[in-house]
Structure 1
Amino acid sequence: MPYAFSLSDVAFLRSAEGERALAECEALPLAGKTRIADVAALRQRFGDRSAAILETVLLRRKAVSKLDSAGRWLFTADALQQASASAVARHRASRLAGRIVHDVTCSVGADLSELAKVASCLGSDVDEVRLAMARHNCPGVPLARADALRPVSRDTVIVADPARRDSAGRRTWRARDFVPPLDELADTYAGRDLVVKYAPGFDFSLAPWAKEVELVSLDGQVRESCLWSAGLATATRRATVLRDGTQWTITDQEPDDIGAAAPGEWIVDPDGAVVRAGLVKHYGARHGLWQLDERIAYLTGDRPPRGVRAFRVLDHGPYSEKALRALLREHEVGRLEILIRGLDLDPDALRRRMKLRGSREATVVLTRIGRAPTAFLCRAERLTD
């Protein structure tokens, strides 16, 4: 079970004594053969405070890949898990630059810290421990203890990130079980500019008030969705891709006039944010690509987008395990990446059945064209010119 911080813990951790204790703990490996001895030394040195110190240092280490300022922040385990990555929060904040923004579920301040760089903002939360941590993490930002469903600000853009776990701590996808519930949140701020962060798998039809749905991916992983009310929406569907410090976006306002045709020299698997936002055709039209099948998200063409990992087609034909095994043997493939869409196959089980023995590396794309299962033997490349 994660450690339950108290207000007393937060006050200690923010003090000069607490900072010294955290620095002392941070110097310990806290892993491998010395872990037990390290923890015992902490308990002897700091007594009842040792659990809060240890948990904070471990959470900071875990947060390094997610948050820019992880080395000085205070967290609870649940707050860190739900917090937006800094790059994602920074992108969302950029759409609200120059506005007056109220984060009504500010938690420990992951979104608030990015908003404060580009907008006038304030934060509130019902959890007094997380709010105390936010005061440490976001110095100078006005904070108040308040229920998100009881408005305490006027004429502000409302930003909310409802908790997606039920009373037993289990992840839930039912909007009525979110805290606060989505429909109550929308009713409370009806007529105001509203931004709500949700998990990527959310059923957007449950939020009729949202006029734009944005899917955001970071370094190849779809991280979250964001719902934008009428006054903030600039499209109906949007995909934003953040990778290696760069960013691009595509919306349903762009052309989508592509069809399906015979395979080109390359296969392109669009970023997950593009697929989940339903913008595969728009992405294809932007880059001169077409579909293999109108119901499948793979694209094909004679040149892939620059910088995108794509798959140069070496051979292709009807799929069967026997034919694929022979093809892999012919090309001396020993290391195989398997991508599947439109077919009910387990890639790991299939890879074992191929009994690979060659020295070359390849990717096989398995999909359906019409009703015909089809295999493409490919080489993964990334064009940079």
Structure 2
Amino acid sequence: MGYRFTLEDVAFLGSPAGEAALAEIDQLALTSASYLADVSTARRLAGDRAPMLLETVLLRRKALSKLDVSGWLFTDDALQQATPWQVAAHRAQRFAGRVVHDVTCSIGTELVHLNGFAVGSDLDPVRLAMARHNTGRPVVQADALRPVTRDAAILADPARRDSSGRRRWRPADFTPPLDALASVYRNRDMAVKCAPGIDAADVPWASEIELVSLDGQVRESCLWTGSLATPGVTRRATVLRSSMDAWTITDASPDTCPVTPPAEWIIDPDGAVVRAGLVRNYAAAHGLAQLDPRIAYLTGDQPPPGIRAFRVIEYGRYSEKSLRQLLAKHDVGRLEILVRGLDVDPNALRPRLKLRGEAEATVVLTRIGHTPTALLCKAERIPG
């Protein structure tokens, strides 16, 4: 639990005196080695205001890896829940030219990227004060389930009630519940950000479900309704990079691809593609084949540009004994283990392999038909 900011804190921090005090505290290193001494210095400089100044400086430093902002105010919880700026900017593109109401605006990390007229609302008065400071947008205190605008397109980011690592989420696991949002705004165009583990069958009111990854990590699902959804598309995978390079694929694209033995390369599709159920569409778009119709690994003679792919060195039926022999044959001492379709724990397997060589490799463990298979590969970054 971080420092509990008050409205008085926000007013001071947003003032010229507050910014000057923050600049002074920001001169401190605040490392693990210097922290106790720095806290003493901060108390000497700022007295009772030291805790909120220290917290704000530390949160601003933490935010640099996630948000493209400066001079913002945060709470610890709000920063943890904030959408990375690349994802927020991507989503905002669909709202171009719209009047938008962000009904769960928190500190404004989505609100700031919306072009045109946009208003935010939230129940937390401290977060609203921070959002007003951070974005300059109009914000009001309101319950997301009690509309305070008419006709505006809706953006919602419900809080997750339980973050205990579950892969499948239900509409009731969010605050406010997803189905309640869908009911209240059934006549509005809406985007609802939620966990990537939401199942399409649980949100039949969503016209399009978009799975979004950033730098290889699946970040969220976005549920689109009304005219914000893409006609003819029910599932979409969007792959973003910190550089703002991006590509997308949908279930409207062809999904015909063969199933073949391993070719020169193994391709492990981005997690957004896998979660969206678009592996075959991705394969068809890049001239690839499946190793097995039920497994997400793909194969081909030319991997797509800009990805990390695996050049096949040798493959055969998998057993621990045969894998140890294969690794010894190729003098492998550093090994990445990828698994799909087999009940193998890489962390438990690695010490049993007794690696002693000098070479580095990747082994892909999977099932081809009914055959457990090990593919020894060399990982390579494909230009593009």
Alpha-carbon offset, residue 177 of structure 1: 4.1
1:231-284 deviation per Cα after TM superposition (whole angstroms, max 9, x unaligned):
221110000001232000000000001131111110000000000000000000
Q: Which residue of 2 aligns with 1:239?
A: 237
1:159-217 deviation per Cα after TM superposition (whole angstroms, max 9, x unaligned):
00001136xx9788443242211111111111110110001122332211101000101
**Structure 2 counterparts to residues 215-226 of structure 1, below 5 A:** 215-226=211-222
Work out which of the residue numbers 131, 134, 152 in structure 2 matches 1:134.
131
- Residues 59, 378 of structure 1: alpha-carbon distance in 2 compared, 3 angstrom cutoff: same
Q: Which residue of 2 aligns with 1:143?
A: 139
Give TM-score scaled by structure 2 length: 0.96
1:156 counterpart letter in structure 2: A
**Is 1:190–2:186 an aligned residue pair?**
yes
Alpha-carbon offset, residue 45 of structure 1: 2.2
Structure 2 runs not aligned, ≥5 long: none
Give TM-score scaled by structure 1 length: 0.96
Q: Which residue of 2 aligns with 1:211?
A: 207
Work out which of the residue numbers 95, 110, 119 in structure 2 matches 1:122.
119
Alpha-carbon offset, residue 25 of structure 1: 1.3
**Is 1:229–2:225 an aligned residue pair?**
yes
Q: Are the equivalent residues in 2 in contact too, given 1:212–1:230 (CA < 8 A)?
A: no
**Structure 2 counterparts to residues 29-108 of structure 1, below 5 A:** 29-69=29-69, 71-108=70-107
- Where 2:33 maps in the other structure, the secondary structure is helix
Q: Distance in 2 between matches of 1:289 and 1:191?
A: 42
Q: Are the equivalent residues in 2 in contact too, given 1:215–1:239 (CA < 8 A)?
A: yes
1:89 counterpart letter in structure 2: A
2:13 counterpart letter in structure 1: L
2:301 counterpart letter in structure 1: D
Q: Distance in 2 between matches of 1:348 and 1:165?
A: 31
Alpha-carbon offset, residue 227 of structure 1: 0.2
Structure 1 runs not aligned, ≥5 long: none
Q: Which residue of 1 aligns with 2:158?
A: 162
- Where 1:202 maps in the other structure, the secondary structure is coil
**Structure 2 counterparts to residues 332-343 of structure 1, below 5 A:** 332-343=331-342
Moved more, 93-102 or 169-178: 169-178
**Structure 2 counterparts to residues 161-310 of structure 1, below 5 A:** 161-165=157-161, 173-234=169-230, 235-243=233-241, 244-310=243-309
**Is 1:320–2:316 an aligned residue pair?**
no
Alpha-carbon offset, residue 290 of structure 1: 0.7
**How large is the Cα RMSD of the aligned pairs?**
1.4
Q: Are the equivalent residues in 2 in contact too, given 1:109–1:134 (CA < 8 A)?
A: yes
Q: Distance in 2 between matches of 1:174 and 1:374?
A: 35
1:13-61 deviation per Cα after TM superposition (whole angstroms, max 9, x unaligned):
1111111111111111111321101012212322221111111111111
1:66 counterpart letter in structure 2: K
1:321-352 deviation per Cα after TM superposition (whole angstroms, max 9, x unaligned):
11000111110111111100011111122111
Q: Distance in 2 between matches of 1:37 and 1:107?
A: 33
Q: Distance in 2 between matches of 1:100 and 1:39?
A: 45
2:126 counterpart letter in structure 1: V
**Is 1:311–2:310 an aligned residue pair?**
yes
Moved more, 40-49 or 278-287: 40-49
2:344 counterpart letter in structure 1: L
Q: Are the equivalent residues in 1 in contact too, given 2:171–2:203 (CA < 8 A)?
A: no
- Residues 237, 174 of structure 1: alpha-carbon distance in 2 compared, 3 angstrom cutoff: closer
Q: Distance in 2 between matches of 1:174 and 1:54?
A: 38
Q: Which residue of 2 aligns with 1:7?
A: 7
1:240 counterpart letter in structure 2: T
- Where 1:342 maps in the other structure, the secondary structure is coil
Q: Distance in 2 between matches of 1:46 and 1:382?
A: 50
2:100 counterpart letter in structure 1: V
Q: Distance in 1 between matches of 2:160 and 2:306?
A: 35
- Residues 251, 183 of structure 1: alpha-carbon distance in 2 compared, 3 angstrom cutoff: same
- Where 1:184 maps in the other structure, the secondary structure is helix
2:19 counterpart letter in structure 1: E
- Residues 303, 171 of structure 1: alpha-carbon distance in 2 compared, 3 angstrom cutoff: closer
Moved more, 171-180 or 37-46: 171-180
Q: Distance in 1 between matches of 2:164 and 2:332?
A: 43
Moved more, 3-12 or 201-210: 201-210
Query: Identity of counterpart residues, as a percentage?
Result: 64
Number of aligned residues: 379
Q: Are the equivalent residues in 2 in contact too, given 1:165–1:171 (CA < 8 A)?
A: no
1:237 counterpart letter in structure 2: R
Q: Distance in 2 between matches of 1:171 and 1:371?
A: 31
Q: Are the equivalent residues in 2 in contact too, given 1:60–1:73 (CA < 8 A)?
A: yes
Q: Distance in 1 between matches of 2:213 and 2:77?
A: 21
